[in-house]
Amino acid sequence: MSVTILVDRPAERVARITLNRPEALNALNLQAMREITTAAAGLDRDPDVGAIVVTGSAKAFAAGADVKEMAPRSFGDVFAADWFAGWDALSRVRTPLVAGVAGYALGGGCELAMMCDVLIAADTAKFGQPEITLGVIPGMGGSQRLTRAIGKAKAMDLILTGRTIDAAEAERAGLVSRLVAADALLAETTATASKIASMSKPAAMLAKEAVNRAFESSLSEGLLFERRLFHATFATHDQKEGMAAFTEKRPAEFRHA
Ligand code: CAA
């Protein structure tokens, strides 16, 4: 039984993890990390789930890692526990993750959103890496993923000043996939996840793997990796079905295999 999250199925083949610590603006404590990563790993193994939504409340996606939980820790504590390493489990989820962000996405909240594959933001969303104002630095991937997402100039600005940017600036910077009106966020996030989940699941998983490889390899290695994955899709039923449906001018009926 989860305490910090709610898990539901808002549409066919779509699962949703909703952060639910309203008293702390969804601050990510250790329990939340365990519950989010465990739920996501379980959903990842479910063949009936083709996309996973990660969302928060209207006021906060997540206002960061839990400062009150971290405040008394020593170097020895956080080093021995390898604090935040548990979040790597979310990066191992192969099912596409769609973040629906309204309100504060600060520190670990911004970093959690960036661990997702598609980031849909409400016009109320506010992003930032304020760790520097606490005398620390990002620890859930902010210095790496933000830099890859928006480039050095902008990432340095946010990480060194700790300033918060609004949704429009985040979209201009390339942090956000789509910007929508706040009251449309849940519908748009679910619809996007549904669209992804309606595609061949093996193709979606391979596409995610290929895009992510762009951050890990040289161009020539990445191109070779992509080409081999493309070749691999020809071993699936869904490639035969998708191409047959195109030539027969009918919708494809994917088996996700
Ligand atoms: N950790 C723990 N509790 C938090 C929290 C956090 N990151 N963010 C908010 N809360 C708690 C507040 O302490 C408050 O609880 P109490 O009423 O018990 O004091 C409650 O949530 C509501 O927050 P506020 O009263 O502060 O709400 P506000 O609307 O006035 O301000 C805010 C909103 C600007 C987001 C403000 O809460 C804030 O600045 N939060 C901290 C943001 C932050 O520094 N995040 C980075 C954390 S470090 C990190 O994430 C490290 C990393 O790399 C992973």
Q: Among the atoms of ligand 1, which is closest to the Cα of residue 64?
A: 50
Centre of ligand 1 from the C-alpha of residue 25, in Å:
7
From atom 27 of ligand 1, which residue's Cα is the shortest distance away?
25
Mutating to test ligand 1, I would choose from 23, 59, 67, 166 the residue with most ligand atoms within 8 A of its C-beta, which is: 67
Q: What is the DSSP string of 68-115?
A: HHHTT--HHHHHHHTTTGGGHHHHT--S-EEEEE-SEEETHHHHHHHH
What pLDDT is recorded for position 127? 98
> Catalytic amino acids?
65, 108, 111, 131
ipTM confidence: 0.98
pLDDT (tens digit, 9 = 90+) per residue, 50-96?
Answer: 999 999 999 999 999 999 999 999 999 999 999 999 999 999 999 99
* Whether the predicted pLDDT of 14 surpasses 90: yes
Helical segments of 84-200, H only = 88-91, 108-115, 147-150, 152-161, 167-173, 185-198
Centre of ligand 1 from the C-alpha of residue 4, in Å:
16
Distances in Å between the Cα of 85 and the Cα atoms of 32, 98, 135, 180, 182 are 13, 21, 20, 32, 32
From atom 20 of ligand 1, which residue's Cα is the shortest distance away?
24
* Rounded Cα–Cα distance for residues 90 and 39 (Å): 10
**Position 210 confidence tier, pLDDT thresholds 50, 70, 90:** very high
* Rounded Cα–Cα distance for residues 209 and 44 (Å): 14
* Whether the predicted pLDDT of 1 surpasses 90: no
pLDDT (tens digit, 9 = 90+) per residue, 91-148?
Answer: 999 999 999 999 999 999 999 999 999 999 999 999 999 999 999 999 999 999 999 9
Kindly report the pTM of this predicted structure. Answer: 0.98
Question: In 119-141, which positions are buried (b, 16+ CB within 10 angstroms) versus exposed (e)?
Answer: bbbbbbbbbbbbbeeeeeebbbb
Per-chain mean pLDDT for the chain: 98
What pLDDT is recorded for position 46? 98
